[in-house]
Structure 1
Amino acid sequence: MSFKNKLDLWLPRLVLSPSLLAVLIAVYLFIVWTAWISLSSSQMVPKFDFVGLEQYVRLWSTPRWHTAVANLFIFTALFLAITIALGLFLAILLDQKVRAEGFLRAVYLYPMALSFIVTGTAWKWILNPDLGLQKVVNELGWTGFVFDWITQPSFAIYCVVIAAVWQSTGFAMAIFLAGLRAIDTSIIKAAQIEGASLLRIYVSVIVPMLRPAFLSVIVLLSYISIKSFDLVLALTNAGPGSATEMPSTFMFAATFRRNQMGVGAASAIMMLMTVAAIIVPYLYSELREDRNAH
């Protein structure tokens, strides 16, 4: 093999090797380290002894962790359902070749360009009864209007849902719109010739063909919901009380505020297992489809 051929073979590997090394160290090595800490008696500082599943028992014996898990299920279910419904609806509207489509796409996608800290802070002002929506409506003359969910433990989690849906709907819309534009228009024309209404065409023909888009949106939004930390921290700081506690905020508080590093590591591993339970079947499905296609 000539020097040029050897260079062509090894140059991409040499270019990618620093990034690969950084990922191995910054991601996978720290996953292994966190898993080991979760099996130790670590508290304020790491310890490298072995206590088995003791930290996991402590974790699942903590009422605050139960609250965090319950909030995660509520948040994820509502977040996925509303974001997918709105994103699909907006994508279908834009697919009708409306005027100023590029401008509307930019408007819908703009919230995704913001960090969750900015989103959380903005919605904290909007939902604050003394500063935001309630005050504006009251000053307009509707003095009986009350919207103080962010201060109510029973409703605060829904404020997190509102902010997350606002930020992520445009992202879901973009994926669905890409899926719609990839569908052969001859299928729609054939259905129209058969006399099917536009609504019937979308419900029975087009939406079922968006299965890959649905899978991508569900996986990515589920990942966003599981790791949600900065949005909750900026919007409610996991309060009032522990009303909006999430696994990510529990992990942070346990590790850095309550000096329970072992419990925090155990909660991190539980989050990792939840993400893996979502992503691994998705990757398996994609790889199986690729093998079947070949």
Structure 2
Amino acid sequence: MALEQALMTPKQKGLTIEEVVHDDNASVDAILTQHGILSSKDLWHKCKNIMSKFKEVLQEKRRTSSDCSVEAATTIAQVAVFSIQQLKDFCKENGLPGTGHKLQLVQRVSLFLNLPKSGASGEIQRQRPLCYPELAAHDIAYKLKSWIYTCAKNAAARGDTTPKMLTVDVQNAADHWAINHNTCRTLPGVRKCVVENWPQGRDCKYPEGGETHKAVKAFLKKYLTENKMKFYLRARENFISETFHSVINKYAMKRIHFDASHTARLACAALDWNENIHPEDRVVYNRVSDDTAVRRCARTNRDLVTRTAIWKAQLKSRVFA
């Protein structure tokens, strides 16, 4: 496997790998555990994935016909959610004709329930309503992403060694948005809720104890457990390497195999990266060859200033010609 080979190279040179930051990948976790290397996952990927999962499971979930009865419908759109058989059964129970296609049944039931028309022309809106409209109204998915970021950063600042406090902090979001600050008061000062003394109802996203509150709480307990949050205690992010890889992709596209010019292309990417990067984060590309002066990365500001004006032209004429 590529990861196995990548881990062997530093070991052959006498280097010790203590920690590897990667995307949320279970197979990588298993390999790193076998080698005794600390596995940390990129915080941005976790927040992005959990936000997408939250939207899929809760925020964009639509009601089904089993969520309520026909009698409880308040709009024609809600009546249109039910199946033809359910509408026929309702008509039979209330002495209405049970024949015709669904549009006729919906109109018949709507007239019986004396529901307001959905539009000026009385058209039926077939899109089902959201199960938890408060989540979409307040964009809770994005707020959850920011919440996890803040919790992980504070856990790293505290130097937590176990994910217990981080998990409690993350799962507290469900109660916090319902203006229940009992857990907020027990958290350390850095995460102590500053709005616990606000008037009741201010900035309330959904009622406490309601269906939305219960759904959010169940989601957080299921997808943000201690076992899953242990990878984010250090709040690691690998955006710098991701950015450098995007620069490499400009010169050495992944879908094309470069044989003779691959080394020069990597050097070109390193030079391009170092033009606008902080000196501490510069990539040192040191390969001994006949054309080292052209291919290697500038190590000092003096080298950078003298070469940045001509390195692209030199590479184009001497390497890629």
| Superposition TM-score tier, normalisation by shorter sequence | under 0.3
Q: Which has the larger radius of gyration?
A: 2
Specify which structure has the bigger relative contact order, considering alpha-carbon pairs within 8 angstroms and separated by 6 or more residues: 1
TM-score (norm 2): 0.25
